[in-house]
Amino acid sequence: LDPGADDLAELQARAQELIFAATQREGSLDDDAKSLLEVLNKCYLNLLKRREGLDGSYGLSVLYPSIDGMTTGFKNKDLIILAARPSMGKTALALNMAVNVAKREIPVLIFSLEMDDEQIGDRLVLGELFSHKGEEGFAVTSHEYQTRLSDEQFRVTQKVFNKLYPLPISIVDKRGLTVPEIKAKARKVKAEQPDLGLLIIDYLQLIKPPSESNRSWTLIVGEMVRELRDLAGELDVPVMLLSQLNRGVESRENKRPMLSDLRDSGNIEEFADVVMFLYRDDYYYPDLAQEKGTEGLVEVIFAKQRKGPTGAVQLRFIKEYTRFIDEYVD
Q: Where are the alpha helices (DSSP H) in 132-275?
A: 133-136, 142-145, 151-164, 179-192, 217-235, 268-271
pLDDT digits (tens, 9 = 90+) for 65-84: 999 999 999 999 999 999 99
Distance CA 71, CA 289 (A): 28
pLDDT digits (tens, 9 = 90+) for 151-171: 888 988 999 999 999 999 999
**Region 211-217 average pLDDT:** 76
16-20, 50-54, 138-142, 202-206: segment of lowest average pLDDT: 50-54
Indicate if the pLDDT at residue 177 is higher than 50: yes
Burial of 326 (0-12, 13-18, 19+ CB in 10 A): middle
* Helix 217-235, helix 179-192: angle, nearest 10: 10
Distance CA 232, CA 230 (A): 5
Q: Which residue did the predictor score with more confidence, 216 or 185?
A: 185
* pLDDT recorded at residue 196: 97
Region(s) of the chain under CATH 3.40.50.300: 65-325
Q: What is the mean pLDDT of the chain?
A: 86
Burial of 196 (0-12, 13-18, 19+ CB in 10 A): buried
| pLDDT band with cut points at 50, 70 and 90 for residue 217 | confident
Indicate if the pLDDT at residue 28 is higher than 60: no
Superfamily for 65-325? P-loop containing nucleotide triphosphate hydrolases (3.40.50.300)
